[in-house]
């Protein structure tokens, strides 16, 4: 964990009290804390930093980091590395999704937060336009890899072809990315461990459908987003799943209740001030669709139409 994060982090169990975390450094290398812990003076909880990775999760979310399946599996890592960087290593099947999303970023002296950063592509792009960038994800596998890419400044990985058969893929990274401005931590999209009004730009890409309480996710984004000169870049396929969240919490895809009608329309109305979720409201400056792919094996693909909204505050 980079030292410049220290005065930005609060305890995820004490969000309302906004208690800054104390840092105890056991090992460090230049500006990076490689071993140590963060602690809360109020609830007395501690959050470990191991091999440079800070895990700042509430108790209810902690079990996800020990799960070796799902987003922590080797195959999933291969899938997302391809999805994030395939256009850079010139794969003919690559999409331009990350180029589209990053095209909305504006030059600012402010901080940026990339929620559900996975292996980091959008965080790297944000470093071109922001003074500091923090990427968060609940997958410890993704965050470890993102930090490795951050320090190596190039990609090298084994792409799954079929079963245990793999092929090496590699490429050098964009020289315009400002690596010293970026860091990645393990954190929860529903309990963002940051001071209020810290970020001038927040991104939430393909996350809303994957959280148990979508409205809480948007509410917490409003908490950390600055009230002036700020931007929220949102994108989601709205593929609601009752295995992830109860349909009563969905923001679309049902015939009655809060989620009545389509997700993109409901989220747009929240941007504009409905229910007071975004206060002050966001002006919608762009809206559309972007094609995105997840490559699981050579013969198994997931094709995604992600609907995006860009909201700003002047």
Does 306 share its domain with 293? yes
Number of domains within the chain: 2
Which tokens sit at 273? Answer: 């001030």
Tell me the CA distances in angstroms from 188 to 16, 101, 247, one per residue in order: 16, 22, 21
Whether 119 and 264 share a structural domain: yes
Q: Cis (ω within 30 of 0) for the bond into 280?
A: yes
Around Cβ 265, how many Cβ atoms within 10 Å? 12
Distance CA 43, CA 49 (A): 18
Across 285-314, average pLDDT: 97
Q: In what order do the strands lie in the sheet with 230-236?
A: 22-29, 32-39, 46-50, 53-56, 182-187, 132-137, 111-115, 199-205, 230-236, 300-313, 283-297
| φ, ψ for residue 138, nearest 5 deg | -85, -10
What does DSSP say about strands 230-236 and 132-137: parallel, antiparallel, or unpaired?
unpaired
Does 184 share its domain with 231?
yes
Contact between residue 201 and residue 110 where contact means Cβ atoms under 8 Å apart:
yes
Q: Which of the listed residues 20, 36, 56 is the one where a domain comes to its end? A: 56
Which residue range(s) make up the domain with 85? 61-313
Mean pLDDT of 108-125: 97
Q: Is the domain of 67 the same as that of 40?
A: no
User: Are 169 and 272 members of one domain?
Assistant: yes
- Residue 69: predicted pLDDT: 64
Based on the fold, state whether residues 12 and 126 are members of the same structural domain: no
The answer to whether 312 touches 283, Cβ cutoff 8 Å, is yes
Domain at 173, CATH number: 3.40.50.150
Average per-residue pLDDT for the chain:
96
Q: Tens of pLDDT along 69-112?
A: 678 888 999 999 999 999 999 999 999 999 999 999 999 999 99
Q: Do 126 and 18 have their domain in common?
A: no
Q: What is the 3-state secondary structure (H, E, C) of the chain?
A: CEHHHHHHEECCCCCCCCCECEEEEEEEECCEEEEEEEECCCCCCEEEEECCEEEECCHHHHHHHHCCCHHHCHHHHHHHHHHHHCCCCCCCCCCCHHHHHHCCCCCCCCEEEEECCCCCHHHHHHCCCCCEEEEEECCHHHHHHHHHHHHHCEEEEEEEEECCEEEEEEEECCCCCCHHHEEEEEEECCECCECCCCEEEEEEECCHHHCCCHHHHHHHHHHHECCCCEEEEEEECCCCCCCCCCHHHCCCCECCCCCEECHHHHHHHHHCCHHHCCCCCCEEEEEEEEEEEEEEECCEEEEEEEEEEEEEEC
Region of 30 (left: φ > 0; alpha: ψ -120 to 50; beta: rest) is: left
Q: Which residues contact 77 (CB under 8 A, 6 or more apart)?
A: 119, 141, 142, 145, 157
Instruction: Note the pLDDT tens digit of each residue in 135-160.
Output: 999 999 999 999 999 999 999 999 99
63/112: higher pLDDT: 112
Residues 44 and 115 in one domain: no
Final residue belonging to a domain, choices 41, 56, 71: 56
How many of the other CB atoms lie within 10 Å of CB of 135? Answer: 29
Same domain, 224 and 121: yes
| Mean pLDDT along residues 242-248 | 94
Q: Are both 229 and 262 inside the same structural domain?
A: yes
In a shared domain, residues 145 and 33:
no
Same domain for 253 and 161: yes
- How far is it, in rounded angstroms, from Cα 21 to Cα 37? 9
User: For residue range 4-49, what is the model confidence (pLDDT) as tens digits?
Assistant: 999 999 999 999 999 999 999 999 999 999 999 999 999 999 999 9
pLDDT of 64: 82
Buried b (16+ CB within 10 A) or exposed e, 53-64: bbbbbbeebeeb
């Amino acid at each position: 964990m980079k030292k410049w994060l220290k005065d930005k982090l609060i305890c995820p169990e004490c969000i309302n009290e906004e208690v800054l975390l104390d840092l105890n450094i056991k090992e460090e290398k230049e500006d990076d804390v490689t071993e140590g812990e963060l602690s809360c003076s109020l609830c007395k909880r501690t959050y470990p930093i191991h091999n440079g990775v800070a895990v700042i999760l509430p108790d209810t979310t902690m079990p996800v980091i020990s799960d070796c399946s799902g987003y922590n599996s080797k195959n999933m890592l291969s899938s997302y590395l391809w999805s994030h960087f395939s256009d850079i290593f010139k794969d003919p099947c690559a999409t331009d999704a990350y180029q589209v999303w990053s095209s909305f970023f504006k030059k600012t002296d402010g901080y940026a937060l990339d929620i559900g950063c996975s292996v980091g592509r959008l965080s790297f792009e944000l470093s071109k336009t922001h003074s500091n960038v923090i990427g968060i994800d609940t997958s410890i596998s993704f965050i470890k890899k993102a930090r490795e890419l951050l320090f190596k400044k190039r990609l090298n990985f084994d792409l799954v072809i079929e079963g245990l058969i793999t092929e090496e893929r590699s490429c050098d990274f964009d020289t315009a990315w400002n690596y010293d401005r970026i860091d990645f931590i393990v954190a929860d999209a529903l309990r963002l461990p940051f001071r209020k009004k810290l970020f001038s730009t927040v991104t939430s890409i393909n996350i809303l459908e994957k959280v148990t309480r979508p409205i809480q996710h948007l509410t917490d984004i409003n908490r950390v987003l600055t009230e002036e000169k700020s931007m929220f870049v949102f994108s989601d396929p709205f593929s609601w799943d009752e295995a992830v969240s109860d349909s009563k919490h969905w923001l679309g895809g049902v015939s009655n209740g809060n989620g009545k009608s389509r997700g993109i329309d409901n989220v747009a109305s929240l941007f504009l001030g409905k229910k007071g979720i975004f206060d002050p409201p966001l002006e919608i400056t762009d809206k559309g669709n972007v094609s995105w792919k997840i490559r699981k094996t050579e013969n198994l693909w997931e094709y995604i139409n992600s609907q995006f909204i860009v909201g700003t505050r002047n």
